[in-house]
Chains A and B, each alone.
Chain A
Amino acid sequence: DAGVIQSPRHEVTEMGQEVTLRCKPISGHNSLFWYRQTMMRGLELLIYFNNNVPIDDSGMPEDRFSAKMPNASFSTLKIQPSEPRDSAVYFCASSTGIGSGGYTFGSGTRLTVV
């Protein structure tokens, strides 16, 4: 199993541009999570999908952020327009469900907005 795959690994963009981060969860995992890691706030949950349906997006910081999961094997996190304060490492994680102990995280996308 290749694990959770995120792309790109690094993204540098100018303020105001649209950014799309991608995630392929582990096959058979029906829960998908987007986290953001910053020095100030640590790891924050942005949004959670179960069976491709967004369950809780209360962690999404602003309307500039949106996430989709069109099928069980793909999810995107979009920021439009991007701002310098969005610079962070964004992680995608998947799991077999609410009862499972741990998540499997991807390697993350390091986003820099200049």
Chain B
Amino acid sequence: DQQVKQNSPSLSVQEGRISILNCDYTNSMFDYFLWYKKYPAEGPTFLISISSIKDKNEDGRFTVFLNKSAKHLSLHIVPSQPGDSAVYFCAARGGSNYKLTFGKGTLLTVNP
């Protein structure tokens, strides 16, 4: 049973445009959400997070939006740059549960 779902395996956008990566979750106990970025042959690196008490968190070109009622979050990258090309993982954690549950990832390709 996949509790964190990233339904788009891949996404391609033009440089300078907005990239929107989506993530859905099923476990209502999740209260903290994270996005990780992964380049080939490297481990995932933490990008941005959001607590369930917020609906938006912004860090430079990256913004994460959380819609608790829809159990949906999204990562917006504006403007997109070729260096943003990577696999993006959505992850979630619930309460005192230490576990991070990951989605399967979305491969973002930003074309020059």
Tell me if B53 is interfacial: C-beta within 8 Å of chain A.
no
Q: Which of A74-114 contact B (CB under 8 A)?
A: 91, 93, 98, 101-108
Comparing B16-24, B43-51, B78-86, the segment that makes contact with chain A is: B43-51
Q: Of B34, B41, B45, which contacts A105 at CB under 8 A?
A: B45
Comparing A13-21, A40-48, A62-70, the segment that makes contact with chain B is: A40-48
Q: Which of B61-111 contact A (CB under 8 A)?
A: 89, 96, 98-105
- 8 further A-B contacts with Cβ under 8 Å, apart from A42-B89, A43-B44, A45-B100, are A31-B98, A42-B102, A55-B98, A56-B98, A91-B44, A98-B98, A101-B46, A102-B46
Interface size, chain B (Cβ < 8 Å)? 20
Asked if A102 contacts B98 (CB within 8 A), the reply is no
Tell me if A4 is interfacial: C-beta within 8 Å of chain B.
yes
Chain B residues with Cβ below 8 Å from A56 are: 98-99
Tell me if B42 is interfacial: C-beta within 8 Å of chain A.
yes
Chain B residues with Cβ below 8 Å from A106 are: 43
Q: Which interface class (under 10, 10 to 19, 20 to 34, 35 or more) fits A?
A: 20 to 34
Asked if A102 contacts B42 (CB within 8 A), the reply is no
Q: Which of A1-21 contact B (CB under 8 A)?
A: 4
Q: Mark B14-40, 1 if CB is under 8 A from A, else 0.
A: 000000000000000000101010000
Asked if B96 contacts A103 (CB within 8 A), the reply is no
Report the minimum CB–CB distance from A34 to chain B (whole Å). Answer: 12
Known: A55-B98, A98-B96, A98-B98. A42 touches B103 (CB 8 A): yes
Q: Of B32, B41, B42, B46, which contacts A103 at CB under 8 A?
A: B46
Q: Of B49, B96, B105, which contacts A42 at CB under 8 A?
A: B105
Asked if A101 contacts B32 (CB within 8 A), the reply is yes
Most B-side CB within 10 Å, residue of A91, A105, A107: A105
Provide the bound-state CA to CA distance between A48 and B97, in Å. Answer: 11
